[in-house]
Structure 1
């Protein structure tokens, strides 16, 4: 009898080994699709002015967070009525992201709104930084009139001419695996600007500080969990850059994860004084999809050179 039972036990043990998840793979490859902080938007497909639909108040909060919406009273901001103000905000969003401005929550709009993005707003105090602006660039002795797609923070804050060497440090909450990708991002900006960058020790003062946070952490909009706001950074000369610790991060292109270096390139652009660009291929475009990697684009380089008169 024992000899008959032994093969059965061996077989079951083999099946268990084959089906058991690998502990090594858990850390490097995301397991399963996680719910995104922006997934509520998918339930609003087809909504338009005149509708009263559960969840519209969340859409209002989303658009308010990124600068598209401001209601005169709290009641309107927290109800589920699709009113004229919301329709106008959606049309502006659609224009910014090159979607037909219908004011309707169509498939293209939902796809764009649910894409993870940077936490820096597109519109501040009524100024829409996603719309192209006319600028006069000098080429030799002649002024050249061009339309630019990059943008700067209000008042065009930047590092002073005497401050071209910037130091950066990592807070203790930064995973060691993130440090080299961030360093590479700094080197890419260094190769395209007049800035040089060097890492300072954790306990030393520095011009720039990188950290990982969850939820609310002070004087900037809180992070919202996986798949929503990925990171944010401050304009010069504040120097702070925060990753959302709730996201799945990776080195390079990994499905359902976000590349440390690509996001760092974007946020360093903010640290140097760039806002968002309306060029989708630019690193300063506000959104990034999981598994996507990007590099500096000519629009990013033109923007930083314009800001610093390089």
Structure 2
């Protein structure tokens, strides 16, 4: 996010999260553009979200326990203006009102679901998918008869990017970064360099501290204001231009390639590097910048990702 001082931002994570972790993230609400992305692999039925299944079928006019958490979820990801103190009870917060219906329709449209405005089973399944925690869109005020639809690649709010004089970027690995995961991250950088038509080049720095892009494995609270949660929660997060930090959670299950019940390092590195370069999420499910991921699979760059980068930098 080049148009703002990067010190104002917490990381734009691409962190996968099931609904079970969302309330942990949202229990201390702040401006969503200042929060990292999050991901959890816990089952939704055991989440502090309450049971999503218990709310299935909820629609406008209903008052159901847990609707307040649904509002917080949609607010966190940019579909609803909703700012409430989580420590204060309000009976009206579990009421499914007009604004929530519009917000839910907007979410359904974004994820190619039927825009019913009802919390149906396909919508619940999508909310339970591992995903990047960065908001899908800039928070805006919904009206009863309109909602925002995004069609393809996007740029981070404020359109941050690296200055034209900074087209050669160096990267470094922190002292505890496993050596076996360095090659897939290097491959991810090389793929983005090729995608940019060599507008960007990336080389490994002689020192971690001197690198433009600092990549490390971290655990729990690690000094950037966005602690990880141990195994089964946050996977990674990255800062926008020109901060350059990218953190992977050392307590998660990482692998090289499509290994069941693990996340592919190169796939997540590709996604996070996209954020480091200024790209937001795409609405194309095949794109590396799509906000949701699955364990045991690999993904690569698509034409949508490449077009987004080239449009951002006028290549």
Instruction: Name the TM tier (shorter chain).
Output: 0.7 to 0.9
Distance 1:276 1:129, change over 3 A: farther
Distance across 1 between alignment mates of 2:91 and 2:176: 36
Distance 1:228 1:129, change over 3 A: farther
CA deviation vs aligned residue, 1:147-171 (integer Å, no higher than 9, x gap): xx11112232211111111011122
Note the residue ranges of structure 2 that are not aligned, 5 or more in a row: 1-40, 142-146
CA deviation vs aligned residue, 1:277-302 (integer Å, no higher than 9, x gap): 10111111111111121000001111
Distance 1:129 1:301, change over 3 A: farther
Task: Work out the number of aligned pairs and report it.
Answer: 261
Distance 1:204 1:238, change over 3 A: closer
What is the TM-score with the length of structure 1 in the denominator? 0.74
1:93 to 107, 117, 132: 107
Q: For residue 299 of structure 2, what is the aligned residue in structure 1?
A: 294
1:61 to 48, 67, 72: 72
Distance across 2 between alignment mates of 1:119 and 1:197: 26
Distance across 1 between alignment mates of 2:172 and 2:91: 40
Q: Secondary structure at the match of 1:110?
A: helix
How far is the alpha carbon of 1:174 from its aligned partner? 2.8
Runs of 4+ in structure 1 off by over 4 angstroms are 36-39, 75-79, 127-130, 214-229
Alignment map for 1:277-292 (pairs within 5 Å): 277-292=282-297
Distance 1:69 1:218, change over 3 A: farther
What is the TM-score with the length of structure 2 in the denominator? 0.73
- Is the strand fraction higher in 1 or 2? 1
CA radius of gyration, larger in: 1
Q: Secondary structure at the match of 2:104?
A: helix
Q: Secondary structure at the match of 2:280?
A: coil
* 1:49 to 2:49 alignment: no
Q: For residue 191 of structure 1, what is the aligned residue in structure 2?
A: 194
Q: For residue 171 of structure 2, what is the aligned residue in structure 1?
A: 168
Distance 1:253 1:236, change over 3 A: same
CA deviation vs aligned residue, 1:122-175 (integer Å, no higher than 9, x gap): 12242999602xxxxxxxxxxxxxxxx111122322111111110111223433
CA deviation vs aligned residue, 1:30-61 (integer Å, no higher than 9, x gap): xxxx6247963643332323334343333333
Q: Secondary structure at the match of 1:306?
A: helix
* 1:110 to 2:129 alignment: no
How far is the alpha carbon of 1:83 from its aligned partner? 3.0
Give the structure, 1 or 2, with the largest relative contact order (CA under 8 Å, sep 6 or more): 2
CA deviation vs aligned residue, 1:216-257 (integer Å, no higher than 9, x gap): 556665545555553222221111222233432211111221
Aligned-residue Cα RMSD (Å) equals 2.8
Distance across 1 between alignment mates of 2:178 and 2:45: 26
Given that 1:230 and 1:244 are in contact with CA atoms closer than 8 Å, whether structure 2 keeps it comes out as: yes
